Structure 1
Amino acid sequence: MEHFPIIHTNFWDAVIAVPIVMIITQILKKYFHVKPFWVPTIALLIGLIISVFISHRHHLFAGIFMGWFYGYSAIGSFASLKTSINAYREKKLKKS
């Protein structure tokens, strides 16, 4: 009896799903003027929806686990990218 599923990450998980969550979140943010404090929740929900209904539709536990991975990876990637861009801009302004 297997209590926990074996979850394999693959190309889809690492290279496609997380950027899709980021892109959809940014589109929703732009067109629906979502307040910033709702953005992480929206990213998490999109990650869960993609994972449960597309990636891991045959195993609910794996879908929920990987959906959290998709959502929080997108949140972290966006925060990291935003921090890097802001640091670059500040450094560029100091040189001027």
Structure 2
Amino acid sequence: MLTEFPIIHTNIWDAVWAIPVLLVIVLVAHWVFKVPESWLSTVATVFALVLSIFISHRGNLSAGIFMGFFYSGATIGTVYSLKQSYLALRNKE
């Protein structure tokens, strides 16, 4: 039976670079390549998994997959939050 919580190590990539890099990738995919808004979460998930597995958590597949989904969720949450804030501000004026 598990009695201790697992130790999760993060690095500078996790804290500072992963989400902004993915945010730029998703926005470029939407604006430049005209990816429909319904596909943005798929784009974010694919690129987040690639970045996490091959760059951020190289050598640890389970950590790469686990953190890739977190990167994706944070990126899409940021995109939709900024969109709703912009729309609310625009409608307020």
Q: What is the TM-score normalised by the length of structure 2?
A: 0.86
**Matching residue's letter, 2:31:** K
Give the letter aligned to residue 70 of structure 1: Y
* Equivalent residue, structure 1, for 2:55: 54
Aligned to 2:8, the other structure's residue is in SS state coil
Q: Secondary structure at the match of 1:17?
A: helix
The Cα shift of 1:6 comes to: 3.9
TM-score under structure 1 length normalisation: 0.84
Runs of 4+ in 1 over 4 A off after TM superposition: none
Q: Which amino acid aligns with 1:47?
A: A
5+ residue gaps, structure 1: none
SS of structure 1 residue aligned to 2:59: coil
Task: Map 1:14-93; keep pairs closer than 5 Å.
Answer: 14-92=15-93
The CA deviation string for residues 3-53 of structure 1, in whole angstroms up to 9 with x for no partner, is xx7432233213210111010111122222111111100001111000000
Q: Identical aligned pairs, as a percentage?
A: 49
What is the total number of aligned residue pairs between the two structures?
Answer: 89
Q: In the TM superposition, what is the alpha-carbon distance from 1:90 to its structure 2 partner?
A: 1.0
Structure 2 unaligned segments of length 5 or more: list them.
1-5
The 3-state SS of whatever aligns with 2:32 is: helix
Amino acid in structure 1 at the alignment position of 2:37 = P
RMSD between superposed Cα atoms in Å? 1.7
